């Protein structure tokens, strides 16, 4: 007998047929003699619709009330799932975040989990019940409902698994695992059997939507092995686990791309102390997250400063930069939305050299110009023109020997 946590995402519970299909899977796991805790997302599209509805009332709806509103999506699916399982003759009960004892801080719409009580959950399991928990939500010390940020039910699942010391944490989604590249643009991409937390963290921060980044941080901190797999078939997915010696042998384990960035350059900025802060502080004060920053050297006492932001923040960041440019007497601000970030990731980079050189040479061979470069210990990213995205991903996938061999 094992204690299994299963999380099903929005597409897996998108309508009643799919809820029935998932109920069948849960029942099967239970019938095999396991204890089962299920974490659910809202039906796909529901959270978006709730947000849009509130935004019809006012541009910036009150965040506390947005938590109350958004939490209803998950409240609906857990109730429907418990009703379905009960109608099939199973002992099942739904629990909302506060009923489980998921205590968070009070940061509305992006709360962090502080503690999970789980007494009630454990008592229900001891009574042989299947427990269906609403993902994405918790409650703060005052008793107010909070939510954990978009995609937060992954984090609910990993946190609950850690709290009850589950034997497995299975994340069921609409893809069947983590791939060496996006299979939609790289036909030779293959599913990874295993990937380590550090690599998964890089992938999540580069925009891979498979797991919420906080859930990976949680899994790493509490050493929860996470199994990412599809709810539409029976195949094994990808295990996200601690790094082992074999993983270092693979230099690059995946190639990712992100078309959601834009570039802003301030030209001929006076090169003096405090200038980067002068340019970037107003951007961060506006709540805009900057990704890559590069300062060039020019001859004389002028410099150029370039940075990237997400496409959704581009217009606001341009406006702020134009204002700053006037104040500091920079010559000009230029922006570019047609860029993409291509990255290669692998823990093997820690012990192998020449990865960057190989990446640059591969792009050069395809005549792709590199606009910006940034690196971490286990990742190298290049910004290129967006139209070359597919070509770059495929060329790098081949160059780093990731192609499927069939
Ligand atoms: N329903 C929430 C969202 O759409 C949480 C989740 O699905 O993980 O972001
Ligand atoms: Mg998700």
pLDDT tens-place string over residues 307-343: 999 998 999 999 999 999 999 999 999 999 999 999 9
Q: How far apart are the C-alpha atoms of 29 and 37, rounded to whole Å?
A: 10
Ligand nearest to the CA of 148: 1
Name the DSSP class of 378. Answer: T
pLDDT tier at 206, thresholds 50, 70, 90? confident
Q: What is the pLDDT of residue 300?
A: 79
What is the rounded radius of gyration, in angstroms, for the C-alpha atoms of the chain?
A: 23
**What are the tens digits of pLDDT across the range 133-142?**
999 999 999 9
Q: What is the pTM of this model?
A: 0.88
Say how many Å lie between the CA of residue 47 and the centre of ligand 2: 11
For residue 7, the CA-to-ligand 1 centroid distance in Å is 12
- The number of angstroms, rounded, from the C-alpha of 109 to the middle of its chain's C-alpha atoms is 16
Mean pLDDT, range 35-44, rounded to an integer:
98
Domains in the chain (CATH in brackets) are 3-174 (3.40.1160.10), 255-399 (3.30.2130.10)
Task: Find, among 325, 319, 234, the residue nearest to 24 by Cα.
Answer: 234
Protein residue with its CA nearest to atom 6 in ligand 1: 151
| pLDDT of 248 over the 90 cut | no
Q: What is the sign of the dihedral through the CA atoms of 46, 50, 55 and 57?
A: positive
What confidence tier does 244 reach under pLDDT thresholds 50, 70, 90? confident
What is the predicted pLDDT for the residue at 368?
Answer: 98
State the distance from the centre of ligand 2 to the C-alpha of 106, rounded, in angstroms: 22
Q: Over 80: is that where the pLDDT of 297 sits?
A: no
Q: What is the pLDDT of residue 380?
A: 96
Using a 6 Å CB cutoff, which residues line ligand 1? 10, 41-42, 47, 73, 135-136, 150-154
Q: How far apart are CA 205 and CA 292, in angstroms?
A: 13
Q: Cβ(18)–Cβ(182) under 8 Å? A: no
What's the mean per-residue pLDDT of the chain?
95
Determine the Cα–Cα distance for residues 226 and 231; give it in Å rounded to an integer: 15
Statement: residue 367 has pLDDT above 90: yes
CA distances from 44 to 11, 12, 84, 129 (A): 5, 8, 19, 27
What does the alpha-carbon distance between residue 347 and residue 250 come to, in Å, rounded to a whole number?
8
Give the distance, in angstroms, between the CA of residue 126 and the centroid of all CA atoms in the same chain.
33
Which of 41, 49, 66, 102 is the best mutation target for the ligand 1 pocket, counting ligand atoms within 8 Å of the beta carbon and taking the most?
A: 41
Ligand 1: atom nearest CA of 48 is 4
Cα separation values, 355 from 38, 244, 350, 377, 403, Å: 42, 20, 10, 11, 17
Q: DSSP per residue over 37-71, as a string?
A: EEEE-PPTTHHHHHHHHHHHH-SS--HHHHHHHHH
Angle formed at CA 294 by CA 290 and CA 299, multiple of 5 degrees: 150
Establish how many alpha carbons lie within 13 A of residue 226's alpha carbon, considering only the half-sphere containing its beta carbon. 35
- pLDDT higher than threshold 70 for residue 218: yes
Q: What is the pLDDT of residues 253-286, one digit of tens each?
A: 999 999 999 999 999 999 889 999 999 999 999 9
By three-state DSSP, how is residue 343 classified? strand
Position 395 pLDDT exceeds 70 = yes
pLDDT tier, 406 (very low <50, low <70, confident <90, very high otherwise): low
pLDDT at residue 404 above 80?
no
**Tokens of residue 71, six digits:** 């939490």
Q: What would the two tokens of residue 82 be?
A: 């418990």
Ligand 1 atom, smallest distance to 10 CA = 7
Residue 50 φ/ψ, nearest 5 degrees:
-60, -45
* DSSP assignments along 248-315, one per residue: HH-S--EEEEE--EEEEEEEEEE--TTHHHHHHHHHHHTTPPEEEEEEEE-SSSEEEEEEEEEGGGHH
- Cβ pair 256, 203 in contact under 8 A: yes
CA-wise closest residue to 211 among 168, 234, 184, 240: 240
Question: What's the rounded mean pLDDT across residues 67-85?
Answer: 98
pLDDT at 299 over 80: no
Model confidence at 76: pLDDT above 90: yes
Taking the centre of ligand 1 as the mean of its atom positions, its distance from the CA of residue 154, in whole angstroms, is 8
Q: How confident is the model at residue 246 (pLDDT cuts 50, 70, 90)?
A: confident
Neighbours of 261 (CB within 10 A): 23
Mutate which of 73, 102, 212 to test ligand 1's pocket (most atoms within 8 Å of Cβ)?
A: 73
Give 386's Cβ-side CA count (13 Å radius).
11
Q: Where are the beta strands (DSSP E) in 71-207?
A: 92-95, 102-104, 113-116, 130-134, 137-139, 145-147, 168-173, 194-196
pLDDT at residue number 140: 98
298 pLDDT higher than 80:
no
């Amino acid at each position: 007998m094992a204690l299994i946590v299963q999380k099903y995402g929005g597409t897996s519970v998108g309508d009643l047929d799919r809820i029935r299909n998932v109920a069948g899977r849960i029942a099967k796991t239970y019938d095999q003699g396991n204890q089962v805790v299920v974490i659910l997302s809202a039906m796909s599209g529901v959270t978006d619709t709730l947000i849009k509805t509130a935004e019809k009332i006012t541009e910036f709806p009150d965040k506390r009330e947005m938590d109350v509103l958004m939490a209803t999506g998950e409240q609906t699916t857990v109730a429907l799932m418990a009703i379905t399982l009960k109608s099939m003759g199973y002992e099942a009960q739904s629990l909302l975040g506060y009923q489980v004892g998921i205590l968070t801080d009070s940061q509305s719409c992006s709360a962090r989990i502080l503690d999970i009580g789980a007494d009630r959950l454990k008592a229900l399991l001891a009574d042989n019940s299947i427990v269906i928990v609403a993902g994405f939500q918790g409650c703060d010390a005052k008793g107010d409902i909070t939510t954990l940020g978009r995609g937060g039910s992954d984090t609910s699942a990993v946190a609950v698994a850690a709290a009850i010391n589950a034997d497995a944490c299975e994340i069921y989604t609409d893809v069947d695992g983590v791939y060496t590249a996006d299979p939609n643009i790289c036909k030779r991409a293959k599913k990874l059997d295993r990937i380590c937390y550090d690599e998964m963290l890089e992938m999540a921060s580069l925009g891979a939507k498979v797991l919420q980044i906080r859930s990976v941080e949680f899994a790493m901190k509490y050493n929860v092995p996470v199994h990412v797999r599809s709810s539409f078939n029976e195949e094994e997915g990808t295990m996200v686990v601690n790094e082992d010696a074999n993983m270092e042998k693979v230099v690059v384990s995946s190639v990712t791309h992100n078309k959601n960035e834009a570039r802003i350059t301030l030209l001929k900025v006076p090169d003096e102390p405090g200038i980067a802060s002068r340019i970037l502080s107003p951007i961060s004060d506006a709540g805009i997250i900057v990704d890559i920053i590069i300062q060039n050297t020019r001859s004389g006492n002028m410099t150029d400063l370039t940075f990237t932001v997400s496409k959704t923040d581009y217009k606001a960041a341009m406006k702020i930069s134009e204002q700053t440019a006037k104040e500091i007497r920079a010559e000009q601000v230029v922006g570019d939305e047609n860029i993409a970030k291509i990255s290669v990731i692998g823990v093997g980079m820690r012990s192998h050299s020449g990865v960057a050189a190989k990446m640059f040479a591969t792009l050069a061979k395809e005549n792709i110009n590199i606009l910006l470069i940034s690196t971490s210990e286990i990742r190298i990213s290049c910004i290129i023109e967006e139209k070359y995205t597919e070509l770059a991903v495929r060329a790098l996938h081949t160059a780093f020997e990731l192609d499927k061999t069939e």
